[in-house]
Structure 1
Amino acid sequence: MTWDRIKFWGMLVVFAGLLVLSIVSLNTSGVTCGGQDMHAGDTCITSGTVRGQDEQASENGGRDWIGVAIGGVGVLGYAVYGAFQLRDRRKKA
């Protein structure tokens, strides 16, 4: 297996993993702050920013959608790239 194929499959796995983890995270019902579950009345303090439970839920959801977008575009892009590479390799053979 050539180095280019290893890079291709490695990046495809990374983007697919990001896509799956983001989708799973979107479907979780709990709100977390630094890996800890938040409950009503809790505040989340990260990087000098203080957020309530509702604000943190919105922040978490936004990050998850960004992960879905990046993962989806990455998987789609690498799938198209792989299809073109396969086509070119078959033409040469």
Structure 2
Amino acid sequence: MDEVKRMELKYTIASVGLDLKGRKLIVGQEPGTWARVIDYDSGEELDTHKGHHGPIWSVAFSPDGKLYATGSEDGTIKMWKNCEGFYGLWRGGANAERTVD
């Protein structure tokens, strides 16, 4: 087996989820309570999701890659949107077009 990618991050890692299609990875911290979204190619941090009260031990993507879940030591599972625009009950972002039916 050959190493495919190596990244140096400035925090400890408890869990990782990889979105190959969107070229992102989600990192759960320990110690820490944040999920960080990182660009796979550049290693640049794109977003930080806050909301857990304990280390994030698990990250998993939905089959379509448009959502991911984080599971924490605090006993909670949180769902996060991993796509632009509307998805399910989530509204679009600040730049999303809005239509009225």
TM-score (norm 2): 0.20
Q: Which has the higher strand share?
A: 2
Q: Which has the higher helix share?
A: 1
Structure with bigger RCO (C-alpha 8 Å, 6+ apart): 1
TM-score (norm 1): 0.21
